[in-house]
């Protein structure tokens, strides 16, 4: 006797998941706060093509308003892709050009490995302080 569950019937086919669908693992939330002269942006979720553009817009908006010292809190960031790396490098370049700084705070092990593999640990400043802010 088998305990396996039967496959879904053909009439109940599931649509493949795509970035932007309303699934929790595809969503990203940005939270901004100001502490000690720094603007903290917390990235909760995944940074991929669509959400990286959202992050880029937020960081550009901060820079336009003269807020060029930014801590990007990556503790709750599940993962990021190539588009997110590009957004981080562009943001760092803009902030540096305007006399500011971008610090990445407490990236996950997977994110840290990706930064290392791409050589971005030499370009992007990482804070390993993972204590609650």
Residue range of the domain that includes 50? 26-127
| pLDDT tens profile 53-100 | 999 999 999 999 999 999 999 999 988 999 999 999 999 999 999 999
Do the domain assignments include residue 95? yes
**Beta strands, E only, the chain:** 28-35, 38-47, 69-73, 77-80, 101-105, 125-127
Q: Read off the CATH number of the domain in which 108 is found.
A: 3.30.750.24
Instruction: Give the residue with greater pLDDT, 38 vs 9.
Output: 38
Is the pLDDT at 114 greater than 60, yes or no? Answer: yes
Do the domain assignments include residue 14? no
pTM for the model:
0.76
User: Please, what is the Cα angle at 62 between 58 and 63, to 5 degrees?
Assistant: 115
DSSP 9-32: PGGGPPPPP-TTSS-GGG-EEEEE
Do the domain assignments include residue 75? yes
How many distinct structural domains can be found in the chain? 1
| pLDDT tens profile 18-59 | 444 444 445 889 999 999 999 999 999 999 888 999 999 999
Q: Of 93, 82, 130, nearest to 108 (Cα)? A: 130
Do the domain assignments include residue 74? yes
Do the domain assignments include residue 123? yes
Instruction: Give the residue with greater pLDDT, 39 vs 4.
Output: 39
């Amino acid at each position: 006797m088998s305990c396996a569950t039967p496959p879904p019937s053909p009439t109940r086919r599931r649509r493949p998941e795509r970035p932007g669908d309303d699934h929790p693992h595809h969503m990203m939330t940005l939270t901004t706060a100001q502490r000690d002269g720094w603007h903290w942006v917390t990235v909760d979720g995944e940074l991929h093509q669509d959400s990286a553009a959202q992050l880029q817009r937020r960081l550009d908006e901060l820079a336009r308003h003269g807020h060029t010292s930014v801590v990007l809190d990556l503790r709750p960031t599940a993962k990021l892709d190539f588009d997110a790396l590009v957004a981080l490098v562009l943001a760092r370049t803009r902030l540096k050009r305007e006399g500011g700084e971008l610090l990445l705070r407490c990236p996950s092990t997977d994110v840290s490995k990706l930064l290392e593999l791409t050589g971005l640990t030499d370009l992007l400043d990482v804070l390993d302080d993972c204590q609650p802010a």
